[in-house]
C-alpha cells in the first residue's frame, strides 16, 4: 500500500522533493500569514467583553495548535524511524524539534501577554498552561538529549525514542480544559458543533492556522534539506551538488 | 526463573554498595528538614505546604538514585552481553525496576509516618500520603529507569537526566499532592488515587518496552 513512499526514504530523492516544495510552501505560508494576521489584527470587530486585546488569538491559537501538531509530526517521524529504521526520519525528528519549541514559546508568551489584562496575572498555574510548559521542556529535552552523544547515530535514535515517550503529554494538553475546570477557556472552534466564535473572527483565525501549518512545513523542508546535506556530506551526489 | 536470578544479582549489588540507596534516603530526610527552616516552623503553614514538599523531596531523591542505575553495567559490559545473549532483556529491566523500587520507593513509604510527624500532618493526610507514595513510587522507578537507560551512554548524564524525567514526573506530582491536600481537608480522594493507578498501569505496560529498546540502541 505504501510502496509509492519508498523512494522518498532515499535521502537524495527527499532532498530534491523538499527543494521543489519549499518555494510553494514558503510563498503561500507568508501570503496567508500576512492576510490572516492583517485581517485579524486590524479589520475584525472588537470583542464585546475583551475589547481589542482578544486579537492576540490570531497568533496565540495558531501557534498553540501547531505546537501540538509539530509534536505529533515529530513523534510520527520518530515512530517511522524506529520501526522501519529509516535514517531520514531521524533527521526529520531533529528538524522539527526546534521549530516546535519556538511555536510553543510563542504560544506561551502571547498567552502571558493576553493573561495580564484579562486574568490580572502574567502566569497562573492552570492545567493547560502547565502542560504546554511541559511540552516546551519535552522539545528542549529531545534537542539536549541528541546533543549529548558524541556518536550521532546513537543520539538520533535515543532522541527519537524520547520523542515517542513524550506523546503521552498531547492528550493531556488537549483535554486539560475539559478534565479540569480551570481558568483557561474551552475551545471556540470545534469540528462537529457550530463554532462559538463569530464568523467575522473565525475566518481570519482559520487562515492564520493554515498559515502556521504551512510555515511549519516550509521550515521543516528547509531544515531537513540542511540536515541531509550535513549527514550525507561524504556521498558523491552531495559532493557533486556543492561542487566540492 | 531468569528474572529471579537477575533480581538476586541486583539485590546483592545493592547490599554491597550501600551508599547507592542510603544516600537518597538521607537526602530525602535532609530536604524535608530544610523546609521548616526555610519557610519558618509555623505549624499551620507546614501543614499547608506538606503535600507538595513531601512529593518534591521524593522526586529529587529518586532522581539522585536514578543516575547510576545503568552506568556501571554499561561500563563493564554487562548490558552488551545481555543484548548479545539469549536472556530476556525484559526480565533484566523488570528486575532492575523492582530492585530500584525496593531500595528507594519502599523506604520512602516506610518513612512516611516520621515525615508526617515532622510536618504536623493529621491521620487522614498521613494515610493519603502513604497511599499516593505506594502508587506513585513504582511509577517514579519506572520513569527513572527509562531516563537512566536513555542517558547511560551520554557524555554528560547528570543534568540531562533531570531535564528528561522531571517533566514526565509532573502529572504524578499534581495528582499525588492534590490527593493529600483533599485528604487533609476531609474530602474524598479516591478519584486522584484512581488516576494514579491508571498512570501506573499504563507505564507498567509500556515503559519496560521503551527501556529495552533504549538499551539496544545504546550498545548497537
For chain B, the domains span 2-219
pTM: 0.82
Average pLDDT over residues B129-146: 92
- Tell me B121's DSSP state: -
Chain A and chain B share a number of CB contacts under 8 A equal to 60
Nearest chain B residue to A157 by CA: give it.
B217
A232: in domain: yes
* DSSP-based three-state secondary structure for A40: helix
Look at residue B181 in the predicted model and tell me its pLDDT: 84
Look at residue A72 in the predicted model and tell me its pLDDT: 93
Average pLDDT over residues B110-131: 85
Look at residue A195 in the predicted model and tell me its pLDDT: 62
Averaged confidence pLDDT in chain B: 87
A144 and B174: CB-CB below 8 Å?
A: no
Look at residue A92 in the predicted model and tell me its pLDDT: 92
> Under the phi-then-psi rule, with left for phi > 0, alpha for psi from -120 to 50, and beta for the rest, what region is A168?
alpha
Look at residue A1 in the predicted model and tell me its pLDDT: 65
Q: How much is the CA Rg of chain A, to the nearest whole Å?
A: 20
- In this structure, what C-alpha cell is assigned to residue A207? 487562515
Look at residue B127 in the predicted model and tell me its pLDDT: 87
A5: in domain: no
A165 and B168: CB-CB below 8 Å?
A: yes
- In this structure, what C-alpha cell is assigned to residue B191? 478519584
Enumerate residue ranges in chain A where pLDDT < 50. none
How far apart are the CA of B70 and the nearest CA of chain A, in angstroms?
15
Average pLDDT over residues B8-15: 88
How far apart are the CA of A81 and the nearest CA of chain B, in angstroms?
12
Query: Which residue would you say has higher pLDDT here, B195 or A46?
Result: B195
Please tell me the distance from the alpha carbon of residue B200 to that of residue B194, in angstroms, as a whole number: 10
Lowest-pLDDT range of A28-37, B67-76, B130-139:
B67-76
Given A82, A144, A169, which is nearest B160 (Cβ)?
A: A144
Burial of B10 from C-beta contacts in 10 A (0-12 / 13-18 / 19+): buried
Neighbours of A86 (CB within 10 A): 19
A190: in domain: yes
Distances (CA, A) of A146 to A32, B154, B205, B207: 34, 9, 26, 20
Nearest chain A residue to B210 by CA: give it.
A161
Residue B201 confidence (pLDDT) above 60 = yes
Given A137, A144, A161, which is nearest B214 (Cβ)?
A: A161
The residues near B107 (Cβ < 8 Å, ≥ 6 apart) are: B21, B25
Residue B150 and residue A158 in contact, taking contact as beta carbons nearer than 8 Å: yes
Please tell me the distance from the alpha carbon of residue A90 to that of residue A161, in angstroms, as a whole number: 10
Structural domains of chain A, count: 1
Look at residue A239 in the predicted model and tell me its pLDDT: 84
Given B146, B153, B171, which is nearest A172 (Cβ)?
A: B171
Through-space distance between the first and last CA atoms of chain A, rounded to whole angstroms: 39
Q: What range defines the domain where residue A135 resides?
A: 12-42+67-242
Given B153, B164, B220, which is nearest A162 (Cβ)?
A: B164
Beta-bridge partner residues of A191: none
Average pLDDT over residues B27-44: 85
* DSSP-based three-state secondary structure for A104: helix
Within 8 A of A164 by CB-CB distance, chain B residues are: 210
CB half-sphere exposure, B177, CA atoms < 13 A:
18
Residue whose C-alpha cell reads 508526617 in the numeric block: B116
Distances (CA, A) of A60 to A174, A177, A191, B177: 15, 16, 19, 31
A145 and B218: CB-CB below 8 Å?
A: no
Please tell me the distance from the alpha carbon of residue B133 to that of residue B108, in angstroms, as a whole number: 8
Amino acid at each position: 500500500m505504501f510502496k509509492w513512499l519508498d523512494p522518498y526514504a532515499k535521502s537524495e530523492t527527499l532532498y530534491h522533493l523538499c527543494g521543489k516544495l519549499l518555494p510553494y510552501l514558503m510563498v503561500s505560508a507568508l501570503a496567508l500569514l500576512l492576510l490572516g494576521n492583517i485581517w485579524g489584527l486590524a479589520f475584525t470587530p472588537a470583542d464585546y467583553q475583551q475589547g481589542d486585546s482578544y486579537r492576540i488569538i490570531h497568533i496565540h491559537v495558531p501557534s498553540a495548535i501547531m505546537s501540538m501538531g509539530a509534536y505529533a509530526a515529530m513523534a510520527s517521524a520518530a515512530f517511522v524511524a524506529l520501526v522501519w529504521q529509516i535514517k531520514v526520519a531521524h533527521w526529520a525528528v531533529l528538524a522539527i524539534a526546534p521549530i516546535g519549541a519556538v511555536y510553543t514559546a510563542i504560544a506561551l508568551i502571547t498567552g502571558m501577554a493576553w493573561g495580564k489584562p484579562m486574568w490580572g496575572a502574567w502566569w497562573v498555574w492552570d492545567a493547560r498552561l502547565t502542560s504546554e510548559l511541559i511540552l516546551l521542556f519535552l522539545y528542549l529535552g529531545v534537542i539536549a538529549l541528541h546533543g549529548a552523544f558524541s556518536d550521532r547515530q546513537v543520539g538520533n535514535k535515543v532522541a527519537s525514542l524520547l520523542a515517542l515517550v513524550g506523546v503521552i503529554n498531547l492528550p493531556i494538553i488537549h483535554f486539560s480544559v475539559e478534565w479540569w475546570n480551570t481558568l483557561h477557556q474551552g475551545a471556540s472552534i470545534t469540528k462537529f458543533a457550530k463554532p462559538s466564535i463569530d464568523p467575522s473572527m473565525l475566518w481570519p483565525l482559520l487562515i492564520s492556522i493554515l498559515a502556521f501549518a504551512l510555515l511549519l512545513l516550509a521550515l521543516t523542508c528547509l531544515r531537513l534539506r540542511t540536515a541531509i546535506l550535513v549527514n550525507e556530506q561524504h556521498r558523491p551526489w552531495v559532493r557533486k551538488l556543492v561542487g566540492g | 526463573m531468569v528474572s529471579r536470578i537477575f533480581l538476586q544479582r541486583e539485590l546483592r549489588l545493592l547490599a554491597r554498595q550501600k551508599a547507592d540507596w542510603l544516600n537518597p534516603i538521607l537526602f530525602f530526610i535532609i530536604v524535608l528538614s530544610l523546609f521548616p527552616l526555610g519557610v519558618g516552623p509555623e505549624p499551620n503553614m507546614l501543614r499547608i505546604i506538606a503535600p507538595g514538599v513531601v512529593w518534591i523531596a521524593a522526586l529529587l531523591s529518586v532522581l539522585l538514585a536514578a543516575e547510576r542505575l545503568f552506568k556501571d553495567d554499561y561500563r563493564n559490559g554487562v548490558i552488551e552481553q545481555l543484548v548479545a545473549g539469549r536472556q530476556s532483556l525484559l526480565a533484566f529491566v523488570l528486575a532492575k525496576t523492582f530492585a530500584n523500587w525496593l531500595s528507594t520507593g519502599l523506604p520512602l513509604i516506610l518513612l512516611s509516618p516520621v515525615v508526617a510527624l515532622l510536618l504536623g500532618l493529621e491521620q487522614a493526610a498521613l494515610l493519603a500520603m502513604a497511599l499516593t507514595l505506594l502508587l506513585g513510587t513504582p511509577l517514579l522507578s519506572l520513569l527513572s529507569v527509562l531516563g537512566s537507560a536513555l542517558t547511560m551512554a551520554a557524555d554528560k548524564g547528570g543534568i540531562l537526566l533531570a531535564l528528561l524525567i522531571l517533566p514526565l514526573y509532573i502529572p504524578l506530582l499534581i495528582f499525588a499532592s492534590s490527593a493529600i491536600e483533599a485528604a487533609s481537608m476531609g474530602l474524598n480522594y479516591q478519584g486522584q488515587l484512581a488516576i494514579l493507578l491508571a498512570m501506573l498501569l499504563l507505564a507498567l505496560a509500556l515503559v519496560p518496552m521503551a527501556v529495552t529498546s533504549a538499551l539496544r540502541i545504546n550498545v548497537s
